[in-house]
Amino acid sequence: MKKPTRKLVIAFVAALGLAAALPPSASAQAVKSIRGADVSAPELAPGGFKPIPDQAPIARDYVQQPPLIPHKVEGYEVTKNFNKCMDCHAWSRYKENGATKVSLTHFKDRDGGELSNISPRRYFCMQCHVPQTDAKPLVGNQFQRAEGLR
């Protein structure tokens, strides 16, 4: 047997022995995810959370937070052909619909050039702006709104 190969075999046997000596739950106890199941386990049921009905705009919790969506968005089409969000929130449409107009920060292309409407890289609104459901926080926390926004 060549030397490197022998070392490899010894290491393998040692690893096997160690795995046998430790109780199988030890590794599971060390890492406990808040999703409550192993990553390889089937997905948990979604929980039947209900979207919150329309409400007034929700105040930001920290500076630079993308404002949350204070209404239902089920069935809203955002495709290559049409962007339902921009049907109300575009600068040309918001007055008629009483909607909040999109931020001017969204009008820059990636080279910093000014556009007359949102940049295509901002097209998928719900990557940052999210609708709300009645789900409770998964774990307790002491989060507080940023001082300047209280």
Q: Is residue 6 packed enough to be buried (19+ CB in 10 Å), middle (13-18) or exposed (0-12)? A: exposed
Per-residue tokens: 7: 């070392």
Q: Which stretch binds another protein (CB under 8 A): 19-27, 61-69, 70-78, 137-145?
A: 70-78
Q: What is the C-alpha separation between 104 and 108, in angstroms, rounded?
A: 8
Among 97, 103, 105, 144, binds another protein (CB under 8 A): 97
Q: What is the C-alpha separation between 61 and 146, in angstroms, rounded?
A: 6
Among 8, 13, 28, 55, binds another protein (CB under 8 A): 55
Taking the complex as a whole, the smallest distance from the CB of residue 91 to another protein amounts, in Å, to 10
Please check whether residue 100 is in contact with residue 67, taking contact to mean a CB–CB distance below 8 angstroms. Answer: yes
Q: Does 77 bind another protein (CB under 8 A)?
A: yes
Taking the complex as a whole, the smallest distance from the CB of residue 92 to another protein amounts, in Å, to 7
Among 87, 124, 130, 146, binds another protein (CB under 8 A): 87
Please check whether residue 41 is in contact with residue 130, taking contact to mean a CB–CB distance below 8 angstroms. Answer: no
Which residue, 38 or 109, has its beta carbon nearer to another protein?
Answer: 109
Which residue, 5 or 79, has its beta carbon nearer to another protein?
Answer: 79
